Amino acid sequence: MIKKIKDYKLENVYKKIINGERITVSEAKEIYNCPDPKVIGYLAHLVRKKLHSNITTYVLNQHINYTNICVNRCKFCAFSREKDQDGAFELTISQIKRKIEENINEPIREIHIVGGCHPHFGLDYYVDMIKELKRLRPNATLKCFTAVEIHHIAKISNLSVKDVLIKLKHAGLDMMPGGGAEIFDSEIRRKICPEKISGEKWLEIIETAHSLGIKTNCTMLFGHIESVEHRIHHLDKLRRLQDKTNGFICFIPLPFLTKNSRLKIKNEISGIEKLKTIALARIMLDNIPHIKSYWIMLGLKLAQAALYFGANDFDGTVVEEKIGHMAGATSPNVLARKELEDMITGCGFKPVQRDGLFRFVSQ
């Protein structure tokens, strides 16, 4: 591999990676342009091994979507609906409670809740939801509401983002998921999600959350109309914010699934391009500890391969997933703990259970 690194003139970045030095934006482009994807995977794996050795984490978690009715109607989104459209749904707090109770015998350690920006739900709905979840699941990390939802809740309730976050934290919110980041570039955003908050706003809301001690994840939706430069720019923005706040726990690369989208894109990007992008994220995001291989969007086989391209986490049991599956995901909806562990050991890694905040769970 060292010979290949020399042949492709990547000795400098190799040395930097070995010494734990930061890769610049232009070096990131050079890495991505390397014609041999194995070299990029190798470099990312060096970083991954240094940070996490042979461990791959997973979580016993449950996803719940409380509504798919959304005022934003992003062009790429196959999940959202207008209020009276076929397939639209909204859950009452009792219905959410029932979904939790159906799985109450599972030792779940993370509840992941996201939904559309509903035109009428006010702050009380969200506060009541968090309180009920905390009551039912005191040992689970409550990872709820993206920056986009927080912005919407603030707007609809005539409150500041900071006040909404304080109230939700007080009710029991532990952390926020990383969704809504998409691609920060404003031109791309104008084409794929014109009604959604800007990239700057997303970063500002996350910064506020971090300043209040609410940790978050972060994401990037890639493989639609953006270029590799847009991806690198996006990763650089995340890295800069993390330098300031240190509030990001995990980065989740989300390859775009093309079915049922109003963005008419014929084909998904190749598996190799997905793996290269995950690897580049691992190399660039030197200050974000974890990279998730999200098997729902990647599919099980590619999610396993991603563990050799920089990812160190396999997400979790999930239970019920709608966003990816309404967009054509062919992965299952749920995995049992044993299946997750077998998939991780099958790749030569040691599975370790974590909670939403990536704290190891003793079994």
Question: Which stretches of the chain are assigned E, i.e. beta strand?
Answer: 55-59, 61-65, 110-114, 141-144, 175-176, 215-222, 248-255, 290-291, 313-316, 350-354
Number of residues that bind ligand V47 (CB under 6 A): 22
Residue 322 found at the interface with ligand SF4 (CB under 6 A): no
CA of residue 132 relative to chain centroid, distance: 25
Give 41 or 180: the residue with its C-beta nearer to ligand V47.
180
Q: Note whether 184 binds ligand V47 by CB under 6 A.
A: no
Q: Which does 72 bind (CB under 5 to 8 A by kind): ligand V47, ligand SF4, none?
A: ligand SF4
Residue 317, interface with ligand V47 (CB under 6 A)? no
The CB-nearest residue to ligand V47 is 179
C-beta of 77 vs 285, nearer to ligand V47 = 77
Query: Which residues neighbour 139 within 8 Å (Cβ) at sequence distance 6 or greater?
Result: 107, 109
User: Which x/- pattern, by CB under 6 A, does the window 112-141 give for ligand SF4?
Assistant: ----xx------------------------
The one segment of 157-165, 200-208, 217-225, 271-279 that binds ligand V47 by CB under 6 A: 217-225
Q: How do beta strands 110-114 and 248-255 pair?
A: unpaired
Shortest distance in whole angstroms from residue 220 CB to ligand SF4: 14
Interacting span for ligand V47 (CB under 6 A) from 87-95, 128-136, 173-181, 343-351: 173-181
Encoded tokens for 122 = 């006010």
Q: Which parts of 139-158 interact with ligand V47 (CB under 6 A)?
A: none
N-terminal to C-terminal alpha carbon distance within the chain: 39
For residues 100-112, one letter each, b for 16 or more C-beta atoms within 10 angstroms of the residue's C-beta and e for the rest, the string is beebeeeebbbbb
Q: Does 155 bind ligand SF4 (CB under 6 A)?
A: no
Closest to 28 in 3D by CA, of 50, 48, 13:
13
Kindly tell me which residue out of 148, 205, 288, 352 binds ligand SF4, with binding defined by CB under 6 A: 148
Q: Does 201 bind ligand SF4 (CB under 6 A)?
A: no
Residue 327 interacts with, from ligand SF4, ligand V47, none (CB under 5-8 Å by kind): ligand V47
Burial (CB count within 10 angstroms: exposed 0-12, middle 13-18, buried 19+), residue 213: exposed
Q: 108 vs 297, which CB is nearer to ligand V47?
A: 297
Residue by residue, DSSP assigns 306-349 as HTTTT--EEEE--S---TTGGGT--S-S---HHHHHHHHHHTT-
Tokens representing residue 218 in the block: 């972060």
**Which of ligand V47, ligand SF4, none lies near 309, with the C-beta cut-off 5 to 8 A by kind?**
none
- By a kind-dependent CB cut-off of 5 to 8 A, residue 116 interacts, out of ligand SF4, ligand V47, none, with ligand SF4
Helix (H) or strand (E) holding 357: none
Is residue 72 close enough to count as binding ligand SF4 by CB under 6 A? yes
Contact call for residue 116 and ligand V47 (CB under 6 A): no
192 close to 76: Cβ distance less than 8 angstroms: yes
Which among ligand V47, ligand SF4, none contacts residue 294 (Cβ within 5 to 8 A by kind)?
A: ligand V47
Is 32 an interacting residue with respect to ligand V47 (CB under 6 A)? no
Q: Rounded to an integer, what distance in angstroms lies between the CA atom of residue 39 and that of residue 124?
A: 51
Using the rule CB under 6 A, which residue among 115, 178, 299, 310 binds ligand V47?
178
Q: Are 139 and 95 in contact (CB under 8 A)?
A: no
Residue 64 binds to ligand SF4 (criterion: CB under 6 A): no
| Site for ligand V47 contains 358 (CB under 6 A) | no
d(CA 41, CA 38): 5
Contact residues for ligand SF4, defined by CB under 6 A = 70, 72-74, 77, 79-80, 116-117, 148, 193, 196
Contact residues for ligand V47, defined by CB under 6 A = 76-78, 114, 177-180, 182, 217, 219, 221, 252, 254, 256-257, 261, 294, 297, 323-324, 327
